[in-house]
Structure 1
Amino acid sequence: MRLDPQAQAIADQLAQSPRPDFSTLSVADYRAMIAAFPIAPAGDDGLESIDDDTLPGTAGPLPVRIFRPFGAGQLPLTVFFHGGGFVSCSIDTHANICSRLAALSGSIVVSVDYRLGPEHRFPAAVDDAIDAVRKLHARASALGADPTQIAVAGDSAGGTLATVVAHALRDGPIALRHQLLLYPVTDAACNSPSQLESADTPVLNRDMMLWFWRNYLPNEDAARDPRASPLLQTDLARLAPATVITAGADPLRDEGEAYAKALVDAGVCVTQQRWNGQFHGFASMLGTLDAATEALAFSALQLRHAFDN
C-alpha cells in the first residue's frame, strides 16, 4: 500500500539503516535500538500534572505514570498499556500519546509499566494489566477519578492487554465504559494477508512479530491462549464498547479489523477506523505525522463520547 508523503519520508530514512537479522537479534540489542530512536516530546499542554507512582502488584511494585488534565470534581479514568511487542518500550516511550489523550479527553490517564518478556513471559503482562485496573479502581476516589467512569486503552501489544482486561473484568464489579485499541495484536499465528505481505513494511514486519512472540510466549501452545490471541476468544458478548484503529501499511491491519468484526458479530458497539497510507505505530509520531495528531484527536473524542453516555 502506498504511504502518504510524510510517512514515506520516514520510511525512506528508516531504509537507510541496516535491517536487523531477527534470527540472531538479542532482546538487549533490540531494546538499545529502540532507545536510540527519537521520541516525540510528551508536552504538558492542558495538563495539571504528570506524576510517577507505584501500585502494589501481586509480583511486586508496579510503576505507573499519572497524566492529570485540568478539571473540577471527579474525572474519568483511562488506564493505558504501551506497545513494544511485549518485550520493549515503557511509560517513557509512550508519554506523548498519554499526555495528548489526557489533555484532549479530559480523562486522567494512568500509564502502566507492566512486566516484559523474555524475563517475565506470558501471562505476566496480562496479570499485571488486570491487577493494575483492579488496583486503580480501588484507588479511584483518592486519584480524583470516578470509579464508574473507567476505560482501558493501548497500542499494539498494549491494545492486546487492554482488550484482554476488558474480557477478564466483563462480569465483575468494574464496569468498563470503553476499550480504545490502537492497531492491536490479536493473533499469534501471524498468517493474515497483511502479515504475509509485510516483508517490506516500515517499522514492523512479520519476521519482527514472530521474534516478539518467541520472546514473549513460554511455548507454542500459549499462542492458542485467548489471552495471547484475543481473536481466538469464543465469547466476546457483553464487552465494553470499543474503538479500533488500524493502519493501512501494517502487518497487524487484518487481525485488528478481524477482531473489530468479531466484536460486532458478538453484539458489541464498535467504531473502526483505518488510516490508509500509514504504517504501524504512526500515532506515536506526533509533530512529524499529521495522521498522528488526527488519530489521537479522534481517539480522545471517542473516549469523551464513551464517558458522556
Structure 2
Amino acid sequence: MALDPQLAALLALGAGAPRTETLPVAAARAQYEARIAAMPPAAPVAAVTERMMQGPGGPLRLRIYTPPGEGPFPLMVFFHGSGFVLCSLDTHDGICRNLCAGSGCLVVSVDYRLAPEHPFPAAPEDCLAATHWAVAQAAGLGADAARLMLAGDSAGGNLAAVTALRLRDEGGPRPVGQALLYPVTDWHSPGTPSYAENAEGYGLTRATMEWFWGHYLPDASLSAHPHVAPLRTPDLAGLPPALVQSAEYDPLRDEAELYAGRLSAAGVPVRMTRWPGMNHGFLFWTGRVEGATAAMAEACAWVRSVTG
C-alpha cells in the first residue's frame, strides 16, 4: 500500500529540516530532541522515577516506569534508538509509557552511552550491565526478575538482540522474550533490497544510516561481529521468543525480517509482523496514527502473552 497519509503529512511538516547526516552531532541531537513537543500524549502510568547505577564507563541513568495495579510486575529493560548516536530517555518517554501501561510491565529505560564519544562496544556493555542491575534490583522495584523482557526500537532493537545473545553466551538470567521494534540487525553494506527501495523519502535514509554506522563503528573490520550485527551470528538457537515488527517503508525492513526468519529457523518462537504503510520510527505516533496505535497494541499484547 502507499505510505500512510497520516505519516505522509507528518513527514511533510518536517520537510524543511536539515538532513541529519549534514549536521554536527550536537545539532543533530538537538533537532531530534525538539521533536518531543510534537509527539502525542502517552498512556498514563502509576509512577515514573529515576535511579543511577555504576556502569562500565561511569554512572548510568535509568528511568523506571511503574504500571497501575499490584506488583510484582514483569520486568522490561528497554533500550532506545536512534542510530547509537541520537535520542535519549526523553525522546522515548512516550514509547516507554505506552509499553508500560499496555503490557503491565515495570519498564527500566537505559540511558546508555552514545557514539561518537563512546563508540562500540560501549552501548552493548552498558545495556548488559543495566540488565543485570535491573534483575538484581527487581524485588525492590516491585518487579519479578523471573519474567524478564528485553525490548528496543531501531538501534535499541539491535541492543536488545545483542543483550539476549550475551545473556545466552556469557551466563545470566534468561529473558522470557525479546521485543525487537524495527531493529537494526546488520551492517549497512552491501545492504538489503529495502535499503535501495526506501533509501530516500520516508524519514530515515540510507545516507543517515551510513552516518550513524560511521560514528558507532569507526573500525569497519568489526562489522560482522555478532555484537554489532546480530544477523551475522552463526548460531541463534536457544534465544528467547521474539516479536519482530518491521515497517513497509523502512530501509531496515528486510534485515529485521531476515533476523526473524533466522530466529525461526533456529527453533526460536517468533511473531513477525510487517506493518503496511508505515515508516521507520512510526511507534512515536501511537495515539495519532492508526497503524502505530495498532502496532503498539500488538506489541503490548505479545509481551503480556509471554510474561504471563
How does the TM-score come out when normalised to structure 2?
0.95
Deviation string 1:151-190 (CA, Å, 9 cap, x unpaired) is 0000000000000000100152401000000000011134
CA contact (8 A) 1:163 1:230 kept: yes
Please tell me whether residue 27 in structure 1 is matched to residue 25 in structure 2. yes
Counterparts in 2 of 1:76-95, with a 5 A limit?
Answer: 76-95=74-93
Determine helix, strand or coil for the equivalent of 2:175. coil
Deviation string 1:37-58 (CA, Å, 9 cap, x unpaired) is 234255452x210111112212
Alpha-carbon distance in 1 for matches of 2:269, 2:287: 32
Deviation string 1:205-260 (CA, Å, 9 cap, x unpaired) is 10000000001113111212111111100110000000000000000000000000
Cα distance change on mapping 1:283 and 1:43 into 2, 3 Å: closer
Alpha-carbon distance in 2 for matches of 1:239, 1:279: 28
Identity value in percent: 46
Out of 137, 151, 154, which is 1:153 matched to?
151
Q: Which moved more, 1:179-188 or 1:50-59?
A: 50-59
CA contact (8 A) 2:40 2:285 kept: no
Alpha-carbon distance in 2 for matches of 1:100, 1:225: 33
Please tell me whether residue 255 in structure 1 is matched to residue 277 in structure 2. no
Please tell me whether residue 293 in structure 1 is matched to residue 305 in structure 2. no
User: Which AA in structure 2 matches 1:72?
Assistant: E
CA contact (8 A) 1:112 1:132 kept: yes
Determine helix, strand or coil for the equivalent of 2:223. helix
Partner of 2:283: 283
Deviation string 1:47-93 (CA, Å, 9 cap, x unpaired) is 21011111221221110111101222311100000011100101100
CA contact (8 A) 1:249 1:277 kept: yes
CA contact (8 A) 2:245 2:273 kept: yes
Deviation string 1:82-140 (CA, Å, 9 cap, x unpaired) is 01110010110001011011111111011000000000000100000001001111111
Partner of 2:72: 74
Alpha-carbon distance in 2 for matches of 1:103, 1:282: 19
Partner of 1:13: 13
Counterparts in 2 of 1:1-309, with a 5 A limit?
Answer: 2-15=2-15, 17-20=16-19, 22=21, 24-37=22-35, 38-41=37-40, 43=42, 45=44, 47-170=45-168, 172-190=171-189, 191-308=191-308
Q: How many residues align?
A: 305
Alpha-carbon distance in 2 for matches of 1:90, 1:10: 21
Alpha-carbon distance in 1 for matches of 2:289, 2:273: 17
CA contact (8 A) 1:201 1:250 kept: no
Determine helix, strand or coil for the equivalent of 1:36. helix
Unmatched runs of 5 consecutive residues or more in structure 2: none
CA contact (8 A) 1:201 1:249 kept: no
Determine helix, strand or coil for the equivalent of 1:79. strand
Cα distance change on mapping 1:162 and 1:21 into 2, 3 Å: closer
Q: Which moved more, 1:220-229 or 1:241-250?
A: 220-229
CA contact (8 A) 1:121 1:218 kept: yes
Determine helix, strand or coil for the equivalent of 1:136. helix
